[in-house]
Amino acid sequence: MPSNVPPPAFTDLLAGATRSAVHLEMRDTYAVDYESGPFAAWRDGHRLDPADRASWWRPWLDLVEETVARGVIIRRARIVSEPVSEYTRFLHSFTFTNVAAGEQVRWLPRRRASDIALPGNDFWLFDDHTVLWNHFTGDGASAGGEVAVDPAAAKLCAEAFETVWARGIPHDRYAIH
């Protein structure tokens, strides 16, 4: 149910989480700047140095570390087509930073998700009751977010996420195809 009230800032939603924050990503590509930025640098051969934590994606990883330190479990699951898109290869190449910051990450090949009832949009679910829907345009650009505190939506998201999680492959064991 869209409203004219802008959703709370993501950082506020995460700061309010007391037990869990789960994120389900279902797109094979998101907005990509092919000419400049991290994706372009990756295409040109740049890779993050595991020993140079200061060069990693900040402030996101700092926020993850702070959140996990207060006892919140953060899990991310990605449903991906295989063979994977170039963008998914890019994501996979630096996901070790998310894991190092305290996120748990799993990958699920799309062919293994066919019988899962999935929401129509990517989402974050905080403490099993607050959903942040992530809306995207056809070319992967963000079209904003929408918060739902709806028990039915939260239940759908929780069940979908847990099923994807149970079938997913931990990041350190997922081989790109």
How far from the centroid of its chain's Cα atoms is residue 5's Cα? 24
> Is it the case that residue 3 has pLDDT exceeding 70?
no
> Is it the case that residue 95 has pLDDT exceeding 50?
yes
**Quick one: pLDDT band at residue 5, thresholds 50, 70, 90?**
low
How far from the centroid of its chain's Cα atoms is residue 176's Cα? 17
| Residue 12 identity (one-letter amino acid) | D
Average pLDDT taken over every residue of the chain:
92
pLDDT tens string 112-158: 999 999 999 999 999 999 999 999 998 888 999 999 999 999 999 99
* Pair 85, 29: CB distance under 8 Å: yes
* Pair 123, 68: CB distance under 8 Å: no
> Is it the case that residue 39 has pLDDT exceeding 80?
yes
Which residues have C-beta within 8 Å of that of residue 1, sequence separation ≥ 6?
148, 150
In this predicted structure, what is the pLDDT of residue 6? 64
Residue 87 CA to residue 175 CA, distance in Å, equals 15
Domain edges within the chain: 10-44+56-173
Total-model pTM: 0.92
- 10-44+56-173 folds as Endonuclease; Chain A (3.30.870)
Residue 143 CA to residue 137 CA, distance in Å, equals 6
In this predicted structure, what is the pLDDT of residue 150? 94
Between 141 and 24, the more confident residue is 24
Which residues have C-beta within 8 Å of that of residue 65, sequence separation ≥ 6?
101, 102
In this predicted structure, what is the pLDDT of residue 55? 78
> Is it the case that residue 2 has pLDDT exceeding 70?
no
In this predicted structure, what is the pLDDT of residue 1? 45
Residue 103 CA to residue 168 CA, distance in Å, equals 15
Using left for φ > 0, alpha for ψ between -120 and 50, and beta otherwise, residue 174 falls in beta
Which residues have C-beta within 8 Å of that of residue 135, sequence separation ≥ 6?
121, 142, 143, 144, 145, 146
